[in-house]
């Protein structure tokens, strides 16, 4: 039975707002792949509605269509009626999580993700064997040379002829996907020093910014945090990175694990409630998007509602911050680079930030921005999606990597760690050795005058 709690009743308004016009269809990655109504935003909302009307039950089939949703929010951008799909999918996923029994292996896999990813300590331990493996491989490859790229051992798949067999992925495909996605970590990157708790502004202080160092970002891409702190300091910000902060809860929120997300949110709010912090800076699109939603997430918690709203109003993506600071203070040294900027869905669709990162990159002399086809289509990373739905994620990753390869950039700029991992894996399958950097790393290099 589909729940009719107060929380879910509040969503009736959102469901009613959908007038079934279908404008969202071409924006939806799964509709793009399969062309099936029930795997489109309009179809999913129709199923939610049917559930409320008692015309649909929460069967395995019902759940499949919500599992297949990437939560990329491209439909929100496309919707002329203003349907807020985010809360709809999060609530539906929450109901599924509470009511729908999943097979043991599926449950175990999902629990493992949520028990490891949001905790930097555990994540380091999980990645340590890979670091060990990569140090072995790097020595070995010196002896035997490069192995053939994956795609030479696989037949080419026509992008437009993809299929949806409506079956959940097996544990084996998932594990294989997880390994393929894992970053190329080394011990020195895994145990890189944390961003200092306080980085003073260079020159006169314009703002004090609390920096979210994140969970996966901190472990897999510590250099992005370091670059962000340096850029913000160079632009006149005192940068505060409290050691007590943890995961922001984005992964849990987007998967509908709302209580878990709330616990993370409370901890993050408390960590940044320091006197003088004007803004909270984030360099991961998914995190920024969920932190901006803290107000709604904790709206029913009297002890936290006001604090959450106050916190959310200060959250800015790093590119937004640089834009907000006004005319650049630090000199941008030329970088001769052809850059393909890849829009993270949680920046472009969820936060509406498309121009700021492009402006930031374009402000660097010598940088040429290359427009890529299907820029507003999800790369398939989508939080934990590429771990739990590896087949679909791979199709989308291949498609994205193809669009990027078509413009032959020197560097791919990606403002979200999930997208970075996903695109790197897709490029490896194509046998390409691509360089993917966060816009902050590129700006940092320009300010420093070199890599």
Partner 1 sequence: MDAAFVSELRRIVGTEHVLDDALELLTYECDALPHLRESPAAVVLPASAAEVQAVVRLCARHGVPFVARGHGTGLSGGALPVPGGLVIALARLNRVLDVDIPNQRVTVEPGVTNLEITKQVAPFGCYYAPDPSSQQVCSIGGNVAENSGGAHCLKYGFTTHHVLGVEAVLPDGELIHIGGTLVDTPGPDLLGLLIGSEGTLAIVTKIIVRILRRPEAVQTLLAAFDTIDAGGAVVSDVIGAGIIPAAIEMMDALAIKAAEAAVHPNFPPADTVLIVELDGPASEVKALFGLVHAICERRGATTIEVAQNDEQRARIWRGRKAAFAAMGRVSPNYYVQDGVVPRTRLPEVLNRIRQLEARSGLRIGNVFHAGDGNLHPLICYDERVPGEADKAVDVAAEILSYCIDAGGSLTGEHGIGADKSQYMPTMFTAEDLDLMQRVRCAFDPHGLSNPGKVFPTPRLCGEVPGPYRQHPAEAAGLAERL
Return residues touching partner 1 (CB under 8 A).
16-26, 31, 34-38, 42-43, 46-47, 50, 55-56, 59, 61-62, 78-83, 160-161, 163-166
- What is the Cα Rg of the chain in Å? 22
Helix axes 222-234, 439-448, angle to 10 degrees: 50
Output 39 or 343, the one with its CB closest to partner 1: 39
Nearest approach in angstroms of CB 146 to partner 1 is 36
As measured in angstroms, the least distance from the Cβ of 241 to partner 1 is: 37
The residues, any chain, with a CB within 8 Å of residue 163's CB and separated by 6 or more, are 34
Would you say 319 and 232 are in contact if contact means Cβ atoms under 8 Å apart?
Answer: no
d(CA 210, CA 239): 6
Quote the DSSP letter at residue 182.
S
Please state, in angstroms and rounded to a whole number, the distance separating the CA atoms of residues 411 and 433. 11
CB of 80 to partner 1, least distance (A): 4
Q: Which is nearer to partner 1, 22 or 328 (CB)?
A: 22
Cβ-based nearer residue to partner 1, 158 or 204: 158
CB of 345 to partner 1, least distance (A): 18
**Is 31 or 311 the residue whose CB approaches partner 1 more closely?**
31
Which helix (H) or strand (E) is 279 found in, with range? strand 279-282
Asked if 92 contacts 41 with a C-beta cutoff of 8 angstroms, the reply is no
> Nearer Cβ to partner 1, position 165 or 204?
165
Rounded to the nearest 5°, which phi and psi values hold at 356? -55, -50
Q: Shortest Cβ distance from residue 351 to partner 1 (Å)? A: 17
- Cα angle for residues 65, 68, 69 (degrees, 5° grid): 95
Task: Return the number of the residue (269 or 369) whose C-beta is nearest partner 1.
Answer: 369
Nearer to partner 1 by C-beta: 63 or 239? Answer: 63
CA-CA-CA-CA torsion sign (41, 45, 46, 51):
positive
Q: Which is nearer to partner 1, 26 or 334 (CB)?
A: 26
CB 209 within 8 A of CB 277: yes
How far apart are CB 43 and partner 1 at their closest, in Å?
4
Q: Minimum Å distance from CB 97 to partner 1?
A: 19
Helix ranges, 201-324 (H): 216-220, 222-234, 250-254, 258-272, 285-291, 294-297, 305-314, 318-324
Closest CB 107 distance from partner 1, rounded Å: 23
401 token code pair: 């990597």
Residue 119 is classified by DSSP as -
């Amino acid at each position: 039975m589909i729940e009719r709690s107060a929380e879910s009743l509040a969503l009736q308004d959102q469901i009613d707002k959908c007038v079934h016009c279908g404008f969202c269809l071409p924006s939806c990655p799964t509709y793009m792949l399969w062309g099936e109504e029930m795997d489109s935003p309009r179809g999913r909302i129709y199923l939610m509605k049917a559930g409320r009307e008692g015309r649909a039950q929460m069967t395995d089939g019902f759940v499949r269509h919500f599992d297949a949703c990437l939560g990329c929010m491209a439909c929100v951008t496309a919707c002329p009626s203003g349907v807020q799909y985010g809360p709809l999918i999060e609530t539906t996923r929450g109901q599924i999580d509470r009511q729908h029994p999943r097979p043991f292996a599926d449950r175990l896999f999902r629990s493992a993700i949520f028990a490891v990813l949001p905790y930097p300590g555990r994540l380091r331990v999980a990645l340590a064997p890979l670091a060990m493996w990569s140090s072995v491989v790097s020595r070995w490859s010196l002896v035997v040379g490069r192995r053939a790229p994956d795609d030479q051992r696989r037949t080419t798949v026509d992008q437009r002829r993809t299929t949806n067999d409506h079956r959940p992925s097996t544990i084996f495909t998932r594990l294989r996907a997880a390994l393929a996605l894992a970053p190329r970590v080394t011990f020195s990157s895994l145990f890189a020093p944390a961003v200092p708790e306080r980085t003073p502004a260079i020159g006169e202080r314009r703002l004090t910014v609390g920096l979210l160092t994140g969970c996966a970002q901190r472990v897999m891409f510590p250099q992005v945090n370091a670059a962000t702190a340096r850029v913000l300091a160079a632009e006149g910000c005192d940068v505060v990175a409290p050691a007590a902060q943890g995961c922001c809860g984005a992964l849990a929120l987007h998967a509908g694990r709302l209580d878990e997300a709330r616990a993370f949110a409370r901890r993050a709010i408390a960590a940044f409630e320091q006197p003088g912090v004007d803004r909270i800076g984030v360099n991961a699109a998914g995190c920024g998007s969920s932190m901006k939603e803290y107000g709604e997430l904790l709206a029913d918690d009297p002890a936290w509602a006001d604090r959450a709203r106050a916190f959310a109003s200060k959250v800015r993506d790093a590119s937004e911050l640089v834009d907000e600071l006004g005319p650049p203070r630090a000199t941008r040294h030329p970088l001769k680079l052809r850059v393909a900027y890849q829009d993270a869905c949680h920046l472009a669709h969820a936060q509406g930030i498309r121009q700021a990162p492009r402006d930031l990159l374009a402000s660097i002399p010598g940088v040429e921005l290359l427009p890529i086809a299907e820029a507003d289509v999800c790369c398939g990373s989508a939080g934990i999606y590429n771990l739990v739905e590896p087949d679909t994620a791979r199709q989308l990753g291949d498609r994205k990597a193809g669009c990027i390869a078509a413009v032959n950039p020197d560097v791919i700029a990606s403002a979200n760690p999930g997208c970075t991992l996903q695109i790197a894996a897709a490029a490896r399958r194509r046998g390409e050795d691509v360089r993917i950097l966060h816009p902050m790393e590129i700006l940092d290099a320009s300010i420093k005058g070199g890599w």
